[in-house]
Chains A and B, each alone.
Chain A
Amino acid sequence: MNIGLYLSESNGEVSQVIDLNKLAGEYGDLPAVKVFDNIFKSRSINQIKVDIASNKLDGVVIAGESPHYYKTNREADFIIKEIEASGVNLNRIGFANIREQAAFPHKNDSGAAYAKAKLLIDVAMEKVRHSQQLETIEFPPKRKVAVVGVTIEGAMVAERLLSHGYRVYLIDKEPKARISEEEMSQLRTSIGYILGHKNLKVLSETTIDELIGHEGDFVLTVDKNGQTEQLPVGAVVITAGDDSSYINDLRSVFYLDVDENGSLRPVNRDTMVTTTLRHGIFMVPVTGELGFKAAYADSAALNVISILDADEVIFEVPVSQVNERLCGGCGTCIKTCMFKASSIDESKRLAHVDVMRCRGCGNCVTSCPTGARDLLTYPTKYLHAAIEILADYPSKGDPKLLFLLCESCGYPSLDYAGTSGMEYPASILPLGVKCGARIDTQLILEAFAKGFDGVIIGKCKEDRCQNLVGSVDLDRRANLFREILRSRGINSERLRIVGLDGCESGKAADEAGAFFKDLKAMEVVV
């Protein structure tokens, strides 16, 4: 495989700690290696595109900002789209987080930061090498939108979408609109417009049972007075205002992130306020002022339109199909899946994955006792290889910790620690996984076998898991597994699980630092 490596100085933030030119020199055998002062400049992007074409690259590794940054910032997301458009599969774009998780937290120890950065790049390389191309499904999007929550924001979003020619379902569990007299009079003409519109259907006293599918192609099942109806929609906008109990109901149907106050959490509070981490579902944040409400409604509607106006939407299937050579039809995946994505062909005793329902959390991959499935975005072989690479870190007598971090809470929390200037021991070695559900106890044993002194798992708090049961299943598995650790003479205290509260504190670093101290006291290092 031809892999290109691009290192970003991040305008000096990384390069003042880590000698990137020296680091680039260690990868001289790759077809393309370059150091940019800022990877997000168009000059950098153009250079990468030229390299992809001239060196026939089929994989790219970007060392610099956190992969989380790429999900939550437009400029970063744009690079990915450009690289993808140049012919590199999304699954073969790897990230080495040498800014938030090496240069920042170890700014006073450039030797350690360098050694760690090297390993993080090796891990990202390994991920690209082990990743197969994601299969894609292309389809024309449904130009119908569900707006959930009959609030003034909901009315404004509906107005914008109706005037653009979309069909809108305005849904609420309450019998009456959540619009005050004052708001009603301020927006009298808009409300008059939407209520008379032929493309609007108002569903009051209607609860939402489930949402399956993907951006552009969802099926929303609703229940009104015991009658269920399936609504085909391309996107959903949540406009439930500050009704946190309603938001909590919706959260468990739409699997969204909420913050400490019980409000929905946008991808980025400053720049992407109406986007949620789940593609195709948008939100209008709570605000008091009518002007802001209108602006947020504009933003949400624009986001919807920018997806559904496209001729085709592309969906990349995150989970592998079941390997017929291995599956024995035991049924554990069916029981484990929260989203009813696994089913069985009883005549063949062979399991099947429904990609419309699959959320790509990896719980079935972990639970499958025969290894018949894989999560293509975090392949099993990659995770094992990554642990082996990270175990090479020269910790010079300090305890060496593997820090397994779930993508939604743990990983961003460790990033946050870095960006907020916290420092922690460099022998705490991070490895991101999709969800607590993907943490196979085999990985824990592998870590101890390869020489880690402790394994710490940063997961979402139980009621915050985006995949609902990932956090719970991880606890069950890991706690049973402690007995197996003890049988090998490994103190089961050397495995610790911490619940991290969302993405807005650096608690991950505190927890790992405390564990580091405890391990030192246990005198486990030989």
Chain B
Amino acid sequence: MKTVATGILEGCFGCHMSLLDLHEEVLDVLGAVKLVYSPVIDTKDFDRADVGILEGAVATDENVETAKKFRDKCDVLIALGTCASYGGIPGMRNLFELDDVLGAVYGDKVPSSGEIPRPLPMVKSLDQVVKVDYYIPGCPPLPNQIKDALVALISGEEPVELTRGKCAQCSRTKKELYVQRREFVTDGIKAVMELDEIDPKKCFLEQGIICMGPVTREGCESKCPTNANMPCRGCWGPTPEAREVGAKMVNSLASILPAGAMMFMEDIVGTGYRYTMAISEVPGRIGR
């Protein structure tokens, strides 16, 4: 029976929760493997495992240690979720000086280095620290995606990677975007809260709402736009060929939405790099 170890770095346990969200199906998975180490079971350490799964970004020296330990002890290492794959939300702190971040959290009582794990100057994705074999992006990944990947690996197959742009899974209709005419699809940019009503069937971009769907990888089944009437925030990260999400957003939206209006967007950087700052060519504030 294959052995599996799971661990957490700088994460919110959401990905582990997603695993548990398999409900009764989790028994199928757990029945097929031996879980040797995980925050959801009571173990202190493990010798080795066939498959290692890590959730969270690499943000402290303790995270680095854990990542290296998993790499040493596991034959296959999976980056689970967007933080492990691209740095995720924790990566946003790269835009600020570390002292300012600690000050914002602890005020004038910043703990000494013995009391908390020492934060790295820059948050990293898992593959910036150790080699990663497979990625299951998502914030969090859907339960069945975790299951499918595990089942594939247990039976010696390659997990299927979903790589298209997210619009492919979206149920909303596009009209203006498919018309061959050089015109902006809308006359202005609107924030969601500015609108009394959002058309639940029509592409967000055509309603003047910034949606990260085009720049985002499929996999979430387009849950926010389809079920929640909210635009995509890009939590599944980029496709394999477009790592620089913020730049790609600017490239693509500048000629279809009024660029002048986009300039006054509240937070163009936060919108573009919310989940992927750590994997940017310039992964934070370099300030020179």
Residues of A within 8 A of B (CB): 323, 325-332, 334-338, 340, 342-344, 346, 349, 363, 366-372, 440-442, 444-446, 448-449, 469, 473, 476-477, 479-481, 483-484, 487-490, 524, 526
Contact = CB atoms under 8 A, between A and B. Distances in A.
Contacts of B163: 325-326
A490 B87 CA distance: 22
A334 B214 CA distance: 13
A121 B238 CA distance: 33
Contacts of B281: 442, 445-446, 448-449
Interface string B220-259: 0000000000000000001111101011111111111001
B110 to A, nearest CB: 23
B263 A342 contact: no
Given A326-B164, A441-B247, A336 B255 contact: yes
A480 B268 CA distance: 8
Contacts of B118: none
B109 interface: no
A336 B214 CA distance: 14
Nearest to A380: B241
B180 A487 contact: no
Contacts of A484: 246-247, 250, 268-269, 272-273
Given A335-B177, A335-B256, A469-B182, 19 more contacts: A325-B163, A326-B241, A327-B165, A330-B167, A331-B256, A336-B252, A338-B182, A343-B178, A344-B178, A349-B168, A366-B251, A369-B215, A370-B238, A371-B239, A371-B240, A448-B282, A484-B246, A524-B288, A526-B288
B156 interface: no
B178 A328 contact: no
B285 A489 contact: yes
A327 B163 CA distance: 9
B43 to A, nearest CB: 39
A490 B286 contact: yes
The 6 closest A-B pairs by CB, nearest first: A328-B165, A371-B241, A331-B177, A489-B287, A330-B214, A476-B259
B242 A371 contact: yes
B286 A331 contact: no
A146 B185 CA distance: 36
B286 A473 contact: no
B95 interface: yes
Contacts, number: 174
Contacts of A490: 282, 286, 288
18 contacts: A327-B165, A330-B177, A332-B214, A335-B256, A336-B182, A367-B252, A369-B249, A370-B214, A371-B240, A371-B241, A441-B247, A444-B247, A445-B282, A477-B255, A480-B262, A483-B263, A483-B268, A526-B288
Contacts of B176: 335
B9 to A, nearest CB: 24
B250 A480 contact: yes
Interface in B178-200: 178-183, 185
B138 interface: no
Contact of B180 (A334, A476, A524): A334
A340 to B, nearest CB: 4
B180 to A, nearest CB: 4
Contact of B252 (A325, A369, A479): A369
Contacts of A340: 180
B99 to A, nearest CB: 15
Given A338-B182, A340-B180, A487 B250 contact: no
A335 B287 contact: no
Contacts of B95: 487-488
B141 interface: no
A383 to B, nearest CB: 13
Nearest to A339: B180
B124 interface: no
Given A334-B178, A445-B280, A484-B246, A370 B272 contact: no
Contacts of B174: 330-331
Given A330-B167, A445-B281, A479-B263, A346 B254 contact: no
A343 B174 CA distance: 13
